[in-house]
Amino acid sequence: MSVRRQSADHELIRRARQLRRDMTAPERLIWYALRDRRLAGWKFPRQVVIGPYIVDFYSHAASLVLEIDGDSHADRGASDRAREAWLEGLGLRVVRISNDEVLHGLEGVVEGIAEILGSHEMRAQALKPDQRTIPPA
């Protein structure tokens, strides 16, 4: 492995750590619904480095990537498609969720993720009443 590749890997890891600290409000909402295996026992680490990319949430066991897209993705269609194709080439399923969907329909988003995972028992556990508002940063 070249020194340049090692520094790129180090930079991605550093960036992923920063993204974990600086989550957007929609990412925090999803994180509080997914963390601690609240979604029927599925593990979803956040800001995970996969190859040359950092994905928002990733379940290794389900081969599922969740991307929470804000306005910054409006002009990145080609880039996002290339990224998705690369991840799908690894056998991963990529699900894109808009910020608006999270902010205005968190329960439906979580139910949709559960449906993708084939589990319906998670709803009450993942969406406790005290977690329906945006958690503090």
For range 46-63, the mean pLDDT: 94
The pLDDT of residue 121: 45
pLDDT digits (tens, 9 = 90+) for 63-79: 999 999 986 545 567 88
Phi-psi map region of 21: left, alpha, beta (phi>0 left; psi -120 to 50 alpha):
alpha
Query: What is the distance between the alpha carbons of residues 37 and 15, in angstroms, rounded to a whole number?
Result: 24
* Local confidence band at 3 (pLDDT 50, 70, 90 cut-offs): very low
As assigned by CATH, the class of the 3-131 domain is: alpha beta
The pLDDT of residue 75: 59
Domain limits, the chain: 3-131
* Mean of per-residue pLDDT scores for the chain: 82
CA atoms within 13 A on the CB side of 94: 20
Q: List 102's β-bridge partners, or say none.
A: none
Nearest Cα neighbor of 80 from 96, 100, 93 is 96
Tokens for 86, please give them.
């690369």
**What is the Cα Rg of the chain in Å?**
15
What pTM was estimated for this model as a whole?
Answer: 0.78
